[in-house]
Amino acid sequence: MKLLIVDDSAIIRSRIARILNDSRLKSIDVVGMAQNGMEAISLFLQNTPDIVTMDITMPKMDGVDCTEKMISLYPECNILVISALSDKATALKALKKGARGFLYKPFTDEELIAAFLELTNS
Amino acid sequence: MSNLNESDIQSFIDAVSSFFFQVTQEKVGIRAAYLVEGGIPATTFDLTSYITLSGAFTGRVYFSAPRVMVAHLLLTMQEPDRGDERLLDAVGEIANTISGNARKHFGETMQISVPVTQATEHDWLNSVVSPRSYVILVKWKQYRASVVVDIQHTD
Amino acid sequence: MDTTSKQSVFSRYRKIIFAVILFMVADSVVIGINFYNTYKADESAVSINLSGRQRMLSQRMTKVLLLTQRSLEANDEAGVVRNLEELDLTVRLFDTTLKGFREGDTVTGGDGNPTFLVQVDTDESRQIVKDAYAIWTPYLELLRPLLGNNRNFSPHALEAAVGYAQANNLKVLKLMNDLTTDLEVVANRRASTLRIVLVIGIVVAFVNFSYTVVISIRDLMAGDRKLSEARQETREILSTVHEGLFLLNKSKKLGTQFSESLPILLLRDIEPGMDFMPILEEMVSKDMYESAVDYIELLLGERVKESLVTSLNPLIDVPVSMIDKFGNTQNRFLSFFFNRVVVDGTVSHVLVTVQDTTEKVLLAQQVEEAKNKAKVEVEALLRLASSDFGSLRQFIDNTGQSLSQINEKLSQSSESSRDRLHTLNYIMRLVHGIKGEAAVLGIDAIEGYSHACEQEMIGMRENCSQDGLSGEQVLRIAVLLEGFYERYSTLANIVSRLGEALGTSAPNVPDEVRARHTGQAHPFVTHITNLAQRIASDHGKKVEVSCEVEKLFSLPQRIVQELQSVSIQLVRNALSHGIETPDERISRKKPATGALCLWCKYLGNGQYDFTVRDDGRGILPERLRAHLVKSGRLSMTEASAMSDEEIARLIFQPGVSSAAAADRDAGHGIGLDAVMEKVKGINGHMQVRSRPDTFTEFHIQFSTTG
């Protein structure tokens, strides 16, 4: 499985990669990291990932538009929205555009792993 | 510590509003709400009625209105006799409504006295129990009346 | 699930299937026995019939012999021939039949057709046949010369035969009679066996049938009972649970069953099949409602993972206001939980659980309240321990005064909505002032409460309708004020009690005097420095504070107080809007640590200048302009028509802020209008100077003579 990490925070990006690396989820490979929506779309087109972790508030193109675009390109893609809980309404919008699930920041290692397991067992 | 929240206070105001609305089809609006430490004359009008609460909360809720307002109310109700006694009855009836609403709002754990009515001549707020009482000024037609909530949580 | 249901079907019908098989087996046995017996009865009928014929034949034989003799005596030749013929037939028929009785053989039946005669099978019959043969064998020998239509028989032979016949006729008759009787007895016995078998068969069939019926009825009744028990249990569950339970189908309509608590929780009548969304829409705010629609639709759809979206449920502890049947507004907190109901791998319904969480929420609030109260006390003690007692007393005096001012404003019954908005702004400024001072002293409980009040009032200001504040909002402000008073009196109480105990209650020796004597920094300087450092660290910024404010301390206390409270706001602004983060500063080729300077200069003629300066990004008119347009304060044309200076001056207007996000230090747009108010209070005036990316200076000029 190919994973694309989209987040404007470098700390969050490396954290997600690190958690995956430390876990037993060896079937997931990080194929790209993007710090804004535009970059995410171009990496998405290059790699056609199976899973995308998606931040909501990002420069250039936000997570909602980015989700919509990705789903229109590849409807089977599993998008996990990762955002602050204070922004429930926007997160719901991204889910309406076709994301599969939501994880709120700050998250623990276990929560992220559990979310990935849930996403990959369909 | 009074520990009253606005829904508690609102229940008293609602009682007054619904009384006026039933009788006159006119709404009563809150004009001001503030706190008093001890009784101050501005909060009292000619006619006053109050109920005494005991139980989870202790204290009194007063309704006070100017004579002319109550007379106008009786007029609206087409009550021919507008003597002092009738005026006090009307004010007492409003206190009764407050009492009924309080019973609903606070449940059966509260004991609520029958209303006491009086023409306000002396300083009737001498018996304050809480450090600060709420004064809510309400308006009906061009008149002002007050609801004073002097209640404290029983420790 | 399928296999278990199949198993249960089999076990449910096993008894009936068994009963049916038993019925069929028993029936075929009875039919078999019946068939066999009927066959036997046919045989018996033949035997009885033929044994009766033997009786008749024995008599006829004797009669024909006698008639033959008489015909011979009368020389009736034709009669002799005719009788011989008959004798021959009779004898042969008798002989073959008797043989048939003995051995079983095909004989000429009563109707002249060949028929099979079975061997006799009882001991009595066999004896009878044997006895018959004992007579018949010599008889047949005597008859033999007369048989075969032999006209030339000797009269002696006839005589011998007639003699034997006469001697034995009755014996033969009796034997044949006995045989008939015996065969009839056998047949009767067989018939009665048949009856018994039939009766047994019927009894077995009846028992079996009854068993089947009983079993079926019992099973049916058990099924019905289980079903009604299940129904009863469902009913009991639905009538007992405190939660509101119901199912929502794909079109978001209620199912046919719901718990009895539901109408009570929602304070309205609920009918099966009702549309859920309008019910919800009445209860919650528009934003909440829209989020709820999204959330429910996501769960009803198949795409999202349920476990990965539950944290987004917007309907947890939601404040709802409902009108009860008495027309009163009821404010409560409700939680709605949604769970998918999956049938055959697809979502068929969503199970909704409604809970009244009012008590829980209020309890949490009370706990918070109690915590805050305790916090106030502890903080006061800590303040005392840090011997900053004078400031604390000062704070208590100031706060008390502000609270009275707020209350006084509230007591002025305001008729117009403009007045009420004005009141709100006035109160917000005072609250903001309290917040600032509490922050300087580090009394978090009061700072936090002020902040919460401020937030709520900002909400009121933003959301209030054209008519201004509602009566309920005015009431709410009074309740907030009461909360203030509570915290305030706790603090005041403790300060006065502990102050007395410590013997420092004499406020006449101000801290600043002590400071001058002891060479410590003036509390004003310490406060401002601490506040600046705290805000800087909250924002991940670095700052160095320098103060040259000694001139201040000879000024009247009232002015110093006002300037202190002004500085607090200006320092907040400087750190949240002005000074950049270390990274940003480095990228702009500035030192990573920002500089914040406060000074007070004497200008002569009783005139003073008090300045707060930071070396941050300055006031950016373009940014401010964009912000003002975005927040709807100015139209695009208005904004572009104004000069940069005019725009910059707007920062002193209520509700204007240039911070992108509001936190507790800045960004609410309550700061500079409060500052302006205070400056006016000391008859001063205020100027702002700024250069983008370089500095911002606030100058306050005032006079001690005026």
pLDDT in tens, C637-649: 888 888 877 777 7
Which residue of chain A comes nearest to C298, CA vs CA?
Answer: A96
Query: Do A and C touch (≥3 CB pairs < 8 Å)?
Result: yes
Which residue of chain C comes nearest to A122, CA vs CA?
Answer: C305
> How close, in Å, is residue C297 to chain A by CA atoms?
8
pLDDT given at position C663: 52
Helices C389-411 & C471-502, crossing angle to 10 degrees? 150
The SS3 call for residue B41 is helix
Chain C partners within 8 Å of A88 (Cβ): 291, 312, 314
pLDDT at C2 over 50: no
pLDDT given at position A66: 92
Question: Are C298 and A96 in contact (CB < 8 Å)?
Answer: yes
Give mean pLDDT, residues C211-216. Answer: 81
The SS3 call for residue A103 is strand
Chain B partners within 8 Å of C472 (Cβ): 6, 10, 30
Question: Are A92 and C295 in contact (CB < 8 Å)?
Answer: yes
Flag whether A10 is in a domain.
yes
Q: Which of A51-55, B99-103, C666-670 is predicted least confidently?
A: C666-670
Element (H, E) at C126: helix C123-143
Among A85, A93, A103, select the one facing C308 at the smallest CB separation: A103
Q: Which of residues 42-61 of B touch C (CB under 8 A)?
A: 42
Q: In whole angstroms, give the CA distance from residue C565 to residue C394.
A: 12
- Bridge partners, residue C105, by sequence: C117
Instruction: State the best of C286, C290, C302, C304 to mutate against chain A, taking most chain A CBs within 10 Å.
Output: C304
Report chain C's C-alpha Rg in angstroms.
63
Report chain B's C-alpha Rg in angstroms.
14
Cα distances from C690 to residues B2, C166, C622, in angstroms, run: 49, 170, 13
User: Could you give the domains of chain C?
Assistant: 10-213 (1.20.120), 244-356 (3.30.450.20), 358-506 (1.20.120.160), 509-706 (3.30.565.10)
pLDDT given at position A81: 92
Query: Do B and A touch (≥3 CB pairs < 8 Å)?
Result: no
Cα C543 from chain centre:
56
Question: Are C308 and A98 in contact (CB < 8 Å)?
Answer: no
pLDDT given at position B124: 53
Flag whether B1 is in a domain.
no
Tokens of C261: 């608590």
Chain B partners within 8 Å of C485 (Cβ): 35, 131-132
pTM: predicted TM-score of the whole model, two decimal places: 0.43
Q: How does pLDDT run across C20-58, given as a tens digit for each residue?
A: 888 888 888 888 888 888 888 888 888 888 888 888 988
Band the pLDDT of C351: cuts 50, 70, 90. Answer: very high
Band the pLDDT of C660: cuts 50, 70, 90. Answer: very low
Element (H, E) at C106: strand C105-108
Q: In whole angstroms, give the CA distance from residue C77 to residue C82.
A: 9
Question: Are C308 and A100 in contact (CB < 8 Å)?
Answer: yes
> How close, in Å, is residue A103 to chain C by CA atoms?
7
Instruction: State the best of C420, C475, C477, C490 to mutate against chain B, taking most chain B CBs within 10 Å.
Output: C475
pLDDT given at position C680: 86
Q: Which of C125-134, C463-472, C576-585 is predicted least confidently?
A: C463-472
pLDDT at C421 over 70: yes
pLDDT given at position B131: 74
Q: In whole angstroms, give the CA distance from residue C202 to residue C160.
A: 61
Chain C partners within 8 Å of B10 (Cβ): 329, 472, 475
Rounded to a whole number of angstroms, the distance between the first and last alpha carbons of chain B is: 10
pLDDT given at position A86: 66
Range of the domain at A47: 2-115
Question: Are B29 and C471 in contact (CB < 8 Å)?
Answer: yes
Q: Which of C170-179, C222-231, C576-585, C618-627 is predicted least confidently?
A: C618-627
Flag whether B27 is in a domain.
yes
Flag whether A81 is in a domain.
yes
Give mean pLDDT, residues C701-706. Answer: 78
Flag whether A122 is in a domain.
no
Q: In whole angstroms, give the CA distance from residue B132 to residue B120.
A: 21
Among A93, A96, A119, select the one facing C305 at the smallest CB separation: A119
Q: Which of A53, A46, A55 is nearest to A79 (CA)?
A: A53
Residues A103-108: contacts with CB within 8 Å, 24+ apart?
A103/C308, A103/C311, A104/C311, A105/A12, A107/A82
Q: What residues of chain C have any CB closer than 8 angstroms to a CB in chain B?
A: 326-331, 362, 407-408, 410-415, 470-472, 474-479, 481-482, 485-486, 489
pLDDT at A111 over 50: yes
A116 touches chain C (CB under 8 A): no
Whole-number percent of chain C with pLDDT over 70: 89
Question: Are C479 and B4 in contact (CB < 8 Å)?
Answer: yes
| Selected residue with higher pLDDT from C663 and C592 | C592
Cα distances from C225 to residues C9, C217, C221, in angstroms, run: 17, 12, 6
pLDDT at C385 over 70: no
Band the pLDDT of C706: cuts 50, 70, 90. Answer: low
pLDDT at C139 over 50: yes
Instruction: State the best of A95, A105, A116 to mutate against chain C, taking most chain C CBs within 10 Å.
Output: A95
> How close, in Å, is residue B154 to chain C by CA atoms?
15
The SS3 call for residue B79 is coil
DSSP secondary structure letters along C209-258:
HHHHHHHHHHHHHHHHHHHHHHHHHHHHHHHH-SSEEEEE-TTSBEEEEE
Question: Are C478 and B132 in contact (CB < 8 Å)?
Answer: no
Flag whether A94 is in a domain.
yes
CATH number for position B99: 3.40.1550.10
Band the pLDDT of A79: cuts 50, 70, 90. Answer: very high
Largest interatomic CA distance in chain C:
202
Give mean pLDDT, residues B9-38. Answer: 84
Band the pLDDT of B122: cuts 50, 70, 90. Answer: low
Tokens of C252: 């978001």
Among A100, A102, A115, select the one facing C312 at the smallest CB separation: A102
CA dihedral C353, C358, C364, C369 (to 10 degrees): 160
Tokens of A37: 């929506």
Q: In whole angstroms, give the CA distance from residue C320 to residue C307.
A: 26
pLDDT at C121 over 90: no
> How close, in Å, is residue A42 to chain C by CA atoms?
25
Which parts of C412-522 fold into alpha helices (H)? 417-441, 444-463, 471-502, 511-518
Tokens of C111: 């109707």
| Selected residue with higher pLDDT from C653 and A75 | A75
Question: Are A102 and C294 in contact (CB < 8 Å)?
Answer: no
Q: In whole angstroms, give the CA distance from residue C264 to residue C274.
A: 16
Asked if C600 contacts C609 with a C-beta cutoff of 8 angstroms, the reply is: yes
Q: In whole angstroms, give the CA distance from residue B131 to residue C489.
A: 10
Question: Are A101 and C304 in contact (CB < 8 Å)?
Answer: yes
Q: Which of A10-14, C155-159, C434-438, C505-509 is predicted least confidently?
A: C505-509
pLDDT given at position C509: 42
Flag whether A120 is in a domain.
no
| Selected residue with higher pLDDT from C22 and A46 | A46
Question: Are B42 and C411 in contact (CB < 8 Å)?
Answer: yes
- Residue at token pair 């504040």: C469
Give mean pLDDT, residues B125-150. Answer: 81
Helices C444-463 & C417-441, crossing angle to 10 degrees? 160
Average pLDDT, chain A: 86
Tokens of C536: 């800087």
Asked if A89 contacts A63 with a C-beta cutoff of 8 angstroms, the reply is: no
Chain A partners within 8 Å of C290 (Cβ): 89
- Structurally, how many domains does chain B consist of? 1
Instruction: State the best of C309, C310, C315, C342 to mutate against chain A, taking most chain A CBs within 10 Å.
Output: C309
Give mean pLDDT, residues C254-272. Answer: 88
How many other CB atoms are there within 10 angstroms of residue C32's CB atom? Answer: 11
pLDDT given at position C467: 64
B130 touches chain C (CB under 8 A): no
Asked if B148 contacts B135 with a C-beta cutoff of 8 angstroms, the reply is: yes
Question: Are C305 and A100 in contact (CB < 8 Å)?
Answer: yes
pLDDT at B66 over 50: yes
Average pLDDT, chain B: 80
The chains found to touch C (3+ Cβ pairs under 8 angstroms) are: A, B
pLDDT given at position C662: 46
Q: How does pLDDT run across C679-700, given as a tens digit for each residue?
A: 888 888 888 888 888 888 899 9
B24 touches chain C (CB under 8 A): no
Range of the domain at B73: 6-153
List of residues 6+ apart from A99 with CB closer than 8 A = A54, A67, A71, A79, A80, A81, C304
Flag whether B143 is in a domain.
yes
Instruction: State the best of A57, A96, A107, A110 to mutate against chain C, taking most chain C CBs within 10 Å.
Output: A96
pLDDT at C658 over 60: no
Asked if C665 contacts C537 with a C-beta cutoff of 8 angstroms, the reply is: no
Flag whether A41 is in a domain.
yes
pLDDT given at position C465: 61
Q: How does pLDDT run across C505-521, given as a tens digit for each residue?
A: 444 444 444 444 444 56
Question: Are A102 and C298 in contact (CB < 8 Å)?
Answer: no
pLDDT at C3 over 50: no
Asked if C339 contacts C345 with a C-beta cutoff of 8 angstroms, the reply is: no
Instruction: State the pairing for strand pair B116-119/B143-153.
Output: unpaired
Chain C partners within 8 Å of B139 (Cβ): 413
Among C327, C410, C415, select the one facing B33 at the smallest CB separation: C410
Among C287, C290, C298, select the one facing A95 at the smallest CB separation: C298
Tokens of A118: 């849930």
- Residue at token pair 């370089």: C694
Label residues C148-172 b or e (16+ Cβ within 10 Å = b): eeeeebeeeebebbbebbeebbeeb
- Structurally, how many domains does chain A consist of? 1
Flag whether A54 is in a domain.
yes
pLDDT given at position C528: 84
Cα C659 from chain centre:
46
pLDDT at B96 over 90: no
Cα distances from C288 to residues A63, C278, C281, C295, C462, in angstroms, run: 21, 13, 9, 10, 18
Chain C partners within 8 Å of B4 (Cβ): 479, 482
How many residue pairs bridge chain A and chain C with CB atoms within 8 Å of each other? Answer: 52
Whole-number percent of chain C with pLDDT over 90: 6
Instruction: State the pairing for strand pair A51-54/A2-6.
Output: parallel
pLDDT at B40 over 70: no
Among B10, B18, B131, select the one facing C472 at the smallest CB separation: B10
Tokens of A59: 């420069």
By CB neighbour count within 10 A (0-12 exposed, 13-18 middle, 19+ buried), where does C478 fall? buried
pLDDT given at position C413: 61
CATH number for position A6: 3.40.50.2300
Chain C partners within 8 Å of A110 (Cβ): none
B11 touches chain C (CB under 8 A): yes
Flag whether A121 is in a domain.
no
Give mean pLDDT, residues C199-205. Answer: 83
Question: Are C311 and A102 in contact (CB < 8 Å)?
Answer: yes
